[in-house]
Amino acid sequence: MIMLSFVARAQNVIIDSLRSVIDNPALNEKEKPALLYQLGQANRVSKNYEIAVSNAKQCIVLALKYKNFTVATKGYTLLATIKANTQQLATLKQTCDTAVIMAQQANDPIAMAYSYYAKVWLYRMLGNSDNVVKYCQLGLKELEKKADPGLAAGFYYRLYAVNSDWNNEAKVNFYARKAVENALQAKNYDLLSNAYTALSVAHEYNYNKSKNKAQLDSFFFYLNRSEILYRQHSGRVSANTYGITCINIANAYYKYFPQTDKNARNQAIEHANIALSVLKNSNNGQEIMASGLGILSEYARRDGNTPQEEKYLLEAYRVMQTDKQPYYYTMINVVTGLSEFYEKRGELGKALDFQKKITEYNIKNFNQEQALNTQKLEIQYETEKKNSEMQALKEKEKSRRLQNYLYGCIAIASVLGLLFMFRSYHFKLRYSMQREKQLQLENQESELQVKLEKEEQARLRAEQQLLETQQQQLKLEMMANTLQLEHKNRMLHDIKDKLTEGDPVNMQRILKEEMLLDNDFEHATLQIQHVHPEFFNLLNDKAKKKLTLLDLKLCAYLYLKMDTRQISQLMHIEAKSVRMSRYRIKQKLGLEKEEDLNLFLQKLGN
């Protein structure tokens, strides 16, 4: 423990050395703002917030004196970070806005990136994760123009934290590694320690998902790397950061190893005690110490050492009471542990007292959250109001520019118009005379054009009528030719039948004849449809019942104006059968008795 105390004291070495350099009368005053910023950062990391605020304000005053707007932006970003850490939301937004104004005056990518980092802290406190990601990405984009690995590591660490809340394992792993890479490059060992812890959390995610022991080994590996940093770089890693590392190690041994594993038990107790030792004289490590005492009380409970368990719980409660602004969730956990402890012991009076404390701290926690939420709502309202005002100003400026543009266009158009009128005045008389002659010629041309158009229309109408007459004639000729061809084919079949008369009649022969009849009629149908493609389609559409091939053939003959005798000869059926077929077709077409089928077919064809 002597070595640990030495390392804890060494933490103040950098702060003291920076203070010594700044107070040196030989130091050029222009160099002080950057050193004051570093000193403020060191005090902020050590949670010496009041001193850190003083350092940041001195930094800003001197930086503005020499118009060093980049360092002034860093100073305001430091103030914003401290206000976020101490939950001073009332003035946090104003500080962030000032950092942006300073960055704009600096016209420097580094300054703009720092102002975005201030915005990251603002939206982190407001719980707006989407805007945290947005301003981290904007900051990293600025750093592509001009590198600052330390600030880049800060952005990547914030992105890791957001994705950790979102349980996005892939991005947790990615951003944790990017934070480690940049912190190593910047030699920012406190941030590197936090980045190692982040990387260990990423491997813990992997272990909980896969249960692969190699992931758990990696989890401990990166926590051990963080632990080694504290010893190797005295004063460059804060006691709080190291204490958190030790608590994470102790908690992991308690969580992931069985009670029978004595080595895990010893390691957990050892690291919990190291955290207590490192933060013993600290004014800002109460929550970490309470966590360490909580772990020790759990092991005492496992061992059945009731007095030791009580001692650790009471000590954790005492430590939390020394915190000026206690974290009520931790406080509630401690008093809950004490209430349950005394209830098991049968000391119901003490259990009831601590139960009352639970209620008291829950109320205080609720009031604190309400006050914090009120401040958040006020900031959100101011932000939205300012955004609306900015949007209105932008719209107004856009409107003004458009108005000026229109006025300019009108002025130019007026000048051009006057110039045109002046020039046209000299040619007005001559133009009028020429225009009159031209109008006369145009009128004559128009009259001639109208006459030609009328003649052309008359010619086109005559041609159209001729084409329609020819087309109608072609239709009739094609249908007649088709039916004539069919008649000749039927005669050939009759001759064939007479030659083969005396052969036995069978179904195969009848089927072949029917198939030939169908094929012939299909061919005729195609020919008729080529001339009048819609005739059979319209006929089938009008029919109430399906028309057979013979029905369609009879309709085609009727359409060609053949009488009953001609049709009976062509179809080789009696005249009576033709009349019966006509009657049946009328029924299928839904025609009344008095309606003429021939007239109906002629209208349909036309």
Distance separating alpha carbons of residues 541 and 526, to the nearest angstrom: 18
Q: Could you give the 3-state DSSP secondary structure of residue 396? A: helix
Q: Say yes or no to pLDDT of 235 above 90.
A: no
pLDDT at 558: 84
Q: Say yes or no to pLDDT of 44 above 80.
A: yes
Highest mean predicted confidence (pLDDT) among 151-160, 407-416, 460-469? 151-160
pLDDT tens-digit series, residues 84-94: 988 888 899 99
Highest mean predicted confidence (pLDDT) among 292-296, 507-511, 523-527? 292-296
Band the pLDDT of 381: cuts 50, 70, 90. Answer: low
Worst-scoring range by mean pLDDT, 90-104, 250-264, 533-547? 533-547
**Sign of the C-alpha dihedral, residues 208, 213, 216, 222?**
negative
pLDDT at 365: 84
State how far the alpha carbon of 260 is from the alpha carbons of 213, 263, 282, 412, in Å. Answer: 18, 9, 34, 93
Q: Say yes or no to pLDDT of 514 above 60.
A: no
pTM over 0.75: no
Q: What's the mean pLDDT in 397-423? A: 74
Residue partners of 390: CB distance under 8 A and separation at least 6: none
Residue partners of 213: CB distance under 8 A and separation at least 6: 207
Question: Residue ranges of the alpha helices (H) in 427-534?
Answer: 428-499, 507-531
Worst-scoring range by mean pLDDT, 94-103, 294-303, 361-370? 361-370
Residue recorded with tokens 């813990």: 204
Q: Say yes or no to pLDDT of 361 above 90.
A: no
pLDDT at 6: 36
DSSP letters along 582-599, please?
HHHHHHHHT--TTS-HHH
pLDDT at 11: 46
pLDDT at 35: 93
Worst-scoring range by mean pLDDT, 13-17, 174-178, 232-236, 515-519? 515-519
State how far the alpha carbon of 79 is from the alpha carbons of 6, 50, 148, 594, in Å. Answer: 30, 11, 20, 105
Distance separating alpha carbons of residues 101 and 444, to the nearest angstrom: 77
pLDDT at 267: 95
pLDDT at 5: 36
pLDDT at 10: 43
pLDDT tens-digit series, residues 160-174: 999 998 888 889 999
Phi-psi domain of 47 (left: phi exceeds 0; alpha: psi -120 through 50; beta: other)? left
Question: What percentage of residues in the chain have a pLDDT greater than 90?
Answer: 40
Distance separating alpha carbons of residues 293 and 311, to the nearest angstrom: 9
Mean pLDDT, the chain, rounded, equals 83
Apex CA 22: angle with CA 16 and CA 26, to 5°? 130
Worst-scoring range by mean pLDDT, 351-360, 398-407, 458-467, 520-529? 520-529
Q: Say yes or no to pLDDT of 7 above 50.
A: no
pLDDT at 58: 94
Q: What type of residue sits at position 124?
A: R
Q: What's the mean pLDDT in 553-568? A: 83
Residue recorded with tokens 């190699």: 214
pLDDT at 117: 96
Highest mean predicted confidence (pLDDT) among 321-335, 380-394, 558-572? 321-335
Q: Say yes or no to pLDDT of 23 above 80.
A: yes
Domain coordinates in residue numbering, the chain: 460-498+507-605
Q: Could you give the 3-state DSSP secondary structure of residue 324? A: coil
Q: Which two tokens stand for residue 464?
A: 């159209």
Band the pLDDT of 237: cuts 50, 70, 90. Answer: confident
Band the pLDDT of 180: cuts 50, 70, 90. Answer: very high
Give the residue with greater pLDDT, 381 vs 312.
312
pLDDT tens-digit series, residues 46-76: 888 899 999 999 999 999 999 999 999 999 9
Band the pLDDT of 326: cuts 50, 70, 90. Answer: confident
**Cβ(310)–Cβ(301) below 8 Å:** no
Residue partners of 448: CB distance under 8 A and separation at least 6: none
